[in-house]
Structure 1
Amino acid sequence: MPTVLIPLLLVADQVSKLWALRSLDPIPDPWLPGLYLTLVHNTGVAFGLFQGNSFVLGLFSLAVGAGLLVYLARTRLTPLVAFALSLVTAGALGNAIDRLGRGWVVDFLDIGPDLWPVFNLADTFVVVGVVLLLLPWGKPRA
C-alpha cells in the first residue's frame, strides 16, 4: 500500500502548489470559515525558523524521505503504521522537491492571521502521520 500511496500524495501536493502559484497572491483570501488562501514563499520551516536555509533543509527533507522509503520497503509494519509513515514520507519528499527545485516551499493554507503559520498539503501529511504514530493504537493500558 505505501508504494501506491506515496506517489499519489506527492502528486496531490505538487498539483496543489502549482495551482497556488498560478491562482493566489500574498493577500489572504477567505475560502471557507476559518480558512484563507495566502501564497507564501517559505525559505525556512514552521514558525519562521531557519529562514534562508532552503538547500540544507531540502537535503535534510530528501534524506528523511529516502530513509523512510527504504524503511517502508524493508520492514513489515501494521497497516496503520505503514499509512502513517507513508504520510510523513510524502510530506518530506514534497517539501524537498520545493526546497531543492525552487529554493523555497510553496505554502498557501492559512487558518487565520497570527493563529498559525501558513502551510501546505505536505505539511499536513507530516503532521497527520506523526499524530497517528503517537496515538496509543493497540497498546495495553497501565
Structure 2
Amino acid sequence: MLVLWLAIAGVAVLLDQLVKHWIVANLVVGQTQALMPKLMDLLYVRNYGAAWSILQGKTWFFYIVTTIATIVILYLLIRKKEVHPLFKISLSLLLGGALGNLIDRIHLGYVVDMFQLKFINFPIFNVADTFVTIGVILLFIDLIFLDKESI
C-alpha cells in the first residue's frame, strides 16, 4: 500500500508543478487575471517566505522543516499499519504539498504563488498549499473522529 500513498503524494506534486509552470509561462510577476469574479483571481507572485510573507529569505529554515516533515511523514506511512486510510491520505497530501513547495525553493529560490481570494484578506497561495491545508484538515478529522491511536 505504500506505493499508493506515495502515488497520491506524487500526483499532488505533479498537479502543483503543472499549475506553477502554466502561471510562469502565461503571466508576468504581479499580473492579475480573473478566475472566478468576486471570489478568486490568479495573481503571479514570488514568495521568498511563508504565509503573510513571514520568514522572508530564510530558505535554510524551510529546507530543514521540510526535510524533518518528510522524514516523519515517510516514517508514519511505512510504520503505521493499522490506521484508517484517511490518516494515510492526509499524510500523502501533506507530503505532496511540502515537496511541491520544496521543489520551487530548490529550483527557483522562491515559491510560485497564484491564488488570491477576493472576499477575504488572505495570503496568496498555490496548489501545494491547498494540499497541505486539506491534509491537515483530514488529519484532524481522523485524529478527532476516526482513530485516536493514529500517532
Provide the TM-score with structure 2 as the length reference: 0.84
Check whether the contact 2:84–2:146 (CA below 8 A) recurs between aligned residues.
Answer: no
Q: Does 1:138 align with 2:146?
A: yes
Does structure 2 retain, via aligned residues, the 8 Å contact 1:58–1:95? no
Partner of 2:35: 31
For the aligned residue pairs, the C-alpha RMSD in angstroms reads 1.9
| 1:22/1:55 CA distance change after superposition, 3 Å | farther
Cα offsets for 1:55-80 (capped at 9, x unmatched):
33133223312331232122213101
Q: Percent identity?
A: 32
Checking the alignment, whether the CA contact within 8 Å between 1:90 and 1:122 is kept in structure 2 is yes
Q: Please name the residue that 2:60 is paired with.
A: 55
Which runs of 5 or more residues in structure 1 are unaligned?
none
2:96–2:131 contact (8 Å) kept in structure 1: yes
CA distance in 1, matches of 2:119, 2:46: 16
Comparing 91-100 with 58-67, greater Cα deviation is found at 58-67
Q: Distance in 2 between matches of 1:59 and 1:22?
A: 30
Q: How many equivalent residue pairs?
A: 140
Superposed displacement of residue 100, structure 1: 1.6
1:39·1:107 contact (CA, 8 Å) conserved in 2?
Answer: yes
Once the 2 structures are TM-superposed, how far is the Cα of residue 113 of structure 1 from its aligned partner? 8.0
1:72 corresponds in structure 2 to 77
Partner of 2:100: 94
**Distance change (3 Å), C-alpha of 1:66 and 1:16:** farther
Residue of structure 1 in register with 2:51 after alignment: 46
- Secondary structure at the aligned position of 1:137 is classed as helix
Query: Counterparts of 1:101 and 1:60 in 2: how far apart (Å)?
Result: 17
TM-score (norm 1): 0.89
Instruction: State the distance in 1 between where 2:89 and 2:125 align.
Output: 21
Structure 1 SS opposite 2:112: strand
The secondary structure found in structure 1 opposite 2:43 is strand
State the one-letter code of the partner of 2:36: L
